[in-house]
């Protein structure tokens, strides 16, 4: 695997943040129970994944689930943001989440085909580039840079609970800037907004809103990228205007009508998928482009999203 300069990462993240990330990554005993916001992490149990695949094959459903998983749709979504600066009215954000790009043969090609004709002003990726949680990180990072070659604008992203900190240098060399409790200023027509991103709040719990907004002007519109919706309350009370996230896959395997069996997420139910509000803050949880654990979907189509920000309510 690619050699990583940990000193550079430490300079950027701080010693405590890097140590927390690395120690949790190597804390194998904690893979199944404990850590993070939920007690059991089903994404780490390979025997369970094998059993689910076996049951689906026996029931003749596996191939249909595989086809569903690759039937990614582009979802066009208007996001009404009353406090949006006028110059950002109509600003379009391509939002990709949870590609798990090395877990689904054919998905990279499908995503390239989908993004090629799209028009947008910015691209954001809300984490979970990788399928596994503790092995090869080079392959998914390199595949994401292949996708990045087809993106026409600046790209900003955050890490999810499947991603290793060691992926950051490769992703950034490929043009995907990772926001590790950091922010940048976006500019359009002479006006500005804050774009901040936090490290994974779900499993690593290395999110830090205070640090992410440190030095940002207080009176500007604030857009936050977080892997899961689990810090929506903290973000709303920190003055975030718009919160983009993923992680839940909206259930991935759902009952007819899109009712999820599991979402692996500790937050209000309405935040599990699509558009939601928390106090004054507006949020959107992507259904995700990929799959996790078992590469099938039922009653829950995968998506990439083009959000159009608008001032009207
Ligand atoms: Fe996730």
pLDDT, tens only, 79-97: 999 999 999 999 999 999 9
CA 131 / ligand 1 centre spacing (Å): 10
Choose between 37 and 257: higher pLDDT. 257
Class of residue 47 by CB neighbours under 10 A (exposed 0-12, middle 13-18, buried 19+): exposed
Triad 78, 312, 247: Cα angle to 5°: 35
CA of 188 from ligand 1 middle (Å) equals 31
Question: How far does residue 161's CA lie from ligand 1's centre (Å)?
Answer: 5
Residue-level pLDDT at 280: 93
Which of 20-29, 219-228, 247-256 is least confident?
20-29
CA–centroid distance, 220 to ligand 1, in Å, is 29
Outline where DSSP puts E strands in 198-280.
222-225, 242-245, 254-255, 259-260, 274-278
Tell me the CA–centroid distance for residue 190 and ligand 1, in Å: 36
Q: What does the pLDDT read at residue 29?
A: 47
Closest CA to 10 of 141, 142, 180, 158: 180
Q: What is the per-residue pLDDT across 277-311, written as a single tens digit (0 to 9) for each?
A: 999 999 999 999 999 989 999 999 999 999 999 99
Computed on alpha carbons and rounded to an integer, the radius of gyration of the chain in Å comes to 18
Measured in Å, residue 165 CA sits from the centre of ligand 1 at: 15
Q: Quick one: what percent of the chain has pLDDT higher than 70? A: 94
Interval between CA 17 and ligand 1 midpoint (Å) = 19
Cα(272) to centroid(ligand 1), Å: 12
End-to-end, the C-alpha distance of the chain in Å comes to 49
Contact 126, 308 (CB under 8 A): no
> Higher-confidence residue: 186 or 57?
186
Cα 174 to middle of ligand 1, angstroms: 22
User: How many C-beta neighbours within 10 Å does residue 223 have?
Assistant: 27
Question: What mean pLDDT comes out for the span 95-112?
Answer: 96
- Closest among 303, 298, 301 to 65, alpha carbons compared: 298
Distance 214 CA to ligand 1 centre (A): 26
What domains, with CATH codes, occur in the chain?
40-310 (3.60.21.10)
How far apart, in whole angstroms, are the C-alpha atoms of residue 287 and residue 70?
Answer: 13
pLDDT in tens, 35-51: 666 656 666 667 778 88
Q: How far apart are CA 284 and CA 293, in angstroms?
A: 23
Q: State the alpha helices, DSSP H only, in the chain.
A: 6-13, 15-26, 46-58, 62-70, 107-115, 138-148, 168-173, 209-212, 232-237
CA 107 / ligand 1 centre spacing (Å):
17
How many CB atoms are located within 10 Å of the residue 304 CB?
Answer: 24
- pLDDT at position 28 over 60: no
Cα 41 to middle of ligand 1, angstroms: 10
For residue 71, the CA-to-ligand 1 centroid distance in Å is: 20
More confident residue, 111 or 132: 111
Distance 192 CA to ligand 1 centre (A): 30
The predicted structure's pLDDT at residue 45: 66
Question: What is the C-alpha separation between 43 and 117, in angstroms, rounded?
Answer: 34
Confidence of residue 19 (pLDDT cuts 50, 70, 90): very high
Mind listing the pLDDT tens digit for each residue in 130-169? 998 887 899 999 999 999 999 999 999 999 999 999 999 9
Residues 6+ apart with CB under 8 A from 100: 128, 129, 130, 131, 140, 162, 290, 291, 292
Q: How far is the CA of 312 from the centre of ligand 1 (A)?
A: 32
Does this model's pTM top 0.75? My answer is yes
CA distance 237 to 310: 22
Count CB atoms within 10 A of the CB of residue 16.
Answer: 11
- Tell me the pLDDT tens digit for each residue of 185-242: 999 999 999 999 999 999 999 999 999 999 999 899 999 999 999 999 999 999 999 9
How far does residue 137's CA lie from ligand 1's centre (Å)? 15
> For 54-82, what is the mean pLDDT?
92
CA 163 – ligand 1 centroid, Å: 9
- Measure Cα distances from 2 to 142, 167, 169, 240 in Å: 11, 9, 9, 36
């Amino acid at each position: 695997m690619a050699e990583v300069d940990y000193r550079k990462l430490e300079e950027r993240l701080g010693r405590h943040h890097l140590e927390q990330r690395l120690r949790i990554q190597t804390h194998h005993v904690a893979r199944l129970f404990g850590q993070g916001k939920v007690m059991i992490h089903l994404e780490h149990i390979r025997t369970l994944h094998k059993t689910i695949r076996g049951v689906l094959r026996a029931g003749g459903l596996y191939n249909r689930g595989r086809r569903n998983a690759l039937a990614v749709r582009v979802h066009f979504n208007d996001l009404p943001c009353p406090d949006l600066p006028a110059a950002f009215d109509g600003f379009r954000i391509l939002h990709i989440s949870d590609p798990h790009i090395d877990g689904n043969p054919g998905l990279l090609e499908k995503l390239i085909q989908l993004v090629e004709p799209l028009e947008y002003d910015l691209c954001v990726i809300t984490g979970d580039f990788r399928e596994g949680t503790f092995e090869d990180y080079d392959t998914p990072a390199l595949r994401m840079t292949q996708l990045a070659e087809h993106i026409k604008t600046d790209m900003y992203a955050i890490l999810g609970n499947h991603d290793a900190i060691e992926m950051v240098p490769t992703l950034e060399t490929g043009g995907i800037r990772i926001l590790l409790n950091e922010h940048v200023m976006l500019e359009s027509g002479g006006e500005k907004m804050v774009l901040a991103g936090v490290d994974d709040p779900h499993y690593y719990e290395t999110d830090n809103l205070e640090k992410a907004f440190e030095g940002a002007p207080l009176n500007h519109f604030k857009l936050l990228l977080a892997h899961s919706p689990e810090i929506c309350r903290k973000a709303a009370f920190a003055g975030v205007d718009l919160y983009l996230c993923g992680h839940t896959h909206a259930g991935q395997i759902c009952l007819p009508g899109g009712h999820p069996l599991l979402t692996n997420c500790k937050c209000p139910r309405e935040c599990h998928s699509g558009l939601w509000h928390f106090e004054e803050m507006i949020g959107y949880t992507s259904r995700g482009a990929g799959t996790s654990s078992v590469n099938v979907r039922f009653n829950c189509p995968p998506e990439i999203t083009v959000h159009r920000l608008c001032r009207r309510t």
